[in-house]
Amino acid sequence: MMKEEERIMQGILFSPAHPDLKALKRKAHRLSQQYSQTFEDEIEERARILEEVVGHIGEGSFIQGPVFFHYGVHTRIGHHFFANYNLTIQDDALVTIGDYTSLGPNVTIVTPIHPLIASERRTMLDQHGDAKPLCYAKPVTIGNDVWISANVTICGGVTIGDGCVIGAGSVVTRDIPAYSLAAGVPCKVIRPITESDSMRYKPEIMADCNVITQQVDEDR
């Protein structure tokens, strides 16, 4: 018999109230609260908590806090990740985030999906014929070098390609191709991000700073 967690990963209906899943969630909620109560200079304690709560987190990553992980273990985070305050990841399904990706304040990633019919949201018959609330979930994948602005919501089943910028307040309900500037509700591609967007063409902002072209190319 397939376990409830396996059902999540298969993208089929599962019972969020199953004891095995509730145990995972309670652990993640407890650790999220512990992390949110730490100070920024408690570096070792924060690292310890993150190592325990998430499936993987790469080197040089920083999460401001407060933070909320629903399962935690279903989230994989790359190197040099940054998240500003109030990050929420409802990772019933897998959430995968690449390297050098940054999130602004109040970003929410949600993977579970509930039936549209009200009576089906209340209860359906599970694989054993028992009446229970059931839902399903779709994974979220965010590539490398992505910038997600403040108050963005990313819905289940979405892939955001490398190098994208998502405008503030967007609700991302569909895939965004790599190196795109996208925004809106629902989020739509505005245009590709090209070399003409380089800061080198904004001398009034650059002032006495310089672009490191070679480093940018290597990171990509």
**pLDDT tens digit sequence for 159-192:** 999 999 999 999 999 999 999 999 999 999 999 9
pLDDT at position 1 is 72
Specify whether 114 is catalytic: yes
pLDDT at position 213 is 74
pLDDT at position 220 is 44
CATH of domain 4-193: 2.160.10.10
Q: Judge whether 182 and 166 are in contact, CB under 8 Å.
A: yes
**pLDDT tens digit sequence for 115-127:** 999 999 999 999 9
pLDDT at position 178 is 98
Active-site residue identified among 18, 79, 114, 128: 114
Q: Judge whether 156 and 173 are in contact, CB under 8 Å.
A: no
Please give the backbone phi and psi of residue 9, each rounded to the nearest 5 degrees, phi first: -70, -25
Q: Which residue has the tokens 């590709």?
A: 192
The per-residue pLDDT of the chain, averaged, comes to 95
**pLDDT tens digit sequence for 117-153:** 999 999 999 999 999 999 999 999 999 999 999 999 9
Give CA 35 to chain center in angstroms: 17
When pLDDT is cut at 50, 70 and 90, the band that residue 2 belongs to is confident
The radius of gyration computed from the CA coordinates of the chain, to the nearest angstrom, equals: 19
Over residues 109-113, mean pLDDT: 98
pLDDT at position 218 is 47
**pLDDT tens digit sequence for 61-108:** 999 999 999 999 999 999 999 999 999 999 999 999 999 999 999 999
- Evaluate if residue 49 carries a pLDDT over 90: yes
When pLDDT is cut at 50, 70 and 90, the band that residue 6 belongs to is very high
CA geometry: angle at 66 spanning 61 and 108, to 5°?
Answer: 80
- Give the Cα separation of 121 and 130 in Å (integer): 14
pLDDT at position 43 is 95
pLDDT at position 214 is 62
- Evaluate if residue 219 carries a pLDDT over 60: no
